[in-house]
Amino acid sequence: MISGKEALDEILILFPQLSEEIEEDEGLLHLQIGTFSHLAQSFIDSGSSSEFSKVCSLFVKLFTSADSDLENALNVSFLEHLNFINGKCNRSWAYEAMPREMRKAWDEMEEYNAKIHGPR
């Protein structure tokens, strides 16, 4: 099982540019995972498919072996904040680019939220 601390270590190895912000929120796993989500969204918004692919690979690695706290943070503070709706920029490509495991997790989270809050 991968803990939140181990996940953050892995995130910072691949994306050291997040270190300052993640360190500022030390002990607040949801905020730290939210920082990772914001980075992912910036890659989606800028059309950076190679960087988004790195995020996706890491997400799958973490999610498939996550302890319960990390799994919750990845669902609530990462997946829930990803926006794939086209607007001023093309975002739908990123949904299609997600690995099967990540897309399934996002779809399940989206379905659950729709039951609770109604569709987006």
The overall average pLDDT reported for the chain is 95
Query: CA-CA distance, 111 to 50, in Å (whole number)?
Result: 28
Residue 120 has pLDDT above 70, yes or no: no
- Which domain does 34 fall in, by range? 4-117
Cα distances from 35 to residues 73, 112, 116, in angstroms, run 11, 23, 25
Strands (E), 4-108: none
Domain count, the chain: 1
Residue 115 has pLDDT above 90, yes or no: no
Task: End-to-end CA distance of the chain: give it in Å, rounded.
Answer: 33
Taking a C-beta distance cutoff of 8 angstroms, is the pair 62, 2 a contact? yes
pTM of the model: 0.92
- Structure confidence at residue 89 as a pLDDT band (50, 70, 90): confident
- DSSP three-state, residue 4: helix
Cα distances from 6 to residues 39, 52, 61, 101, in angstroms, run 19, 21, 12, 20
Per-residue pLDDT tens for 19-55? 999 999 999 999 999 999 999 999 999 999 999 999 9
Measured in whole angstroms, how far is the alpha carbon of residue 110 from the centre of its chain?
13
- Structure confidence at residue 114 as a pLDDT band (50, 70, 90): confident
- Structure confidence at residue 118 as a pLDDT band (50, 70, 90): confident
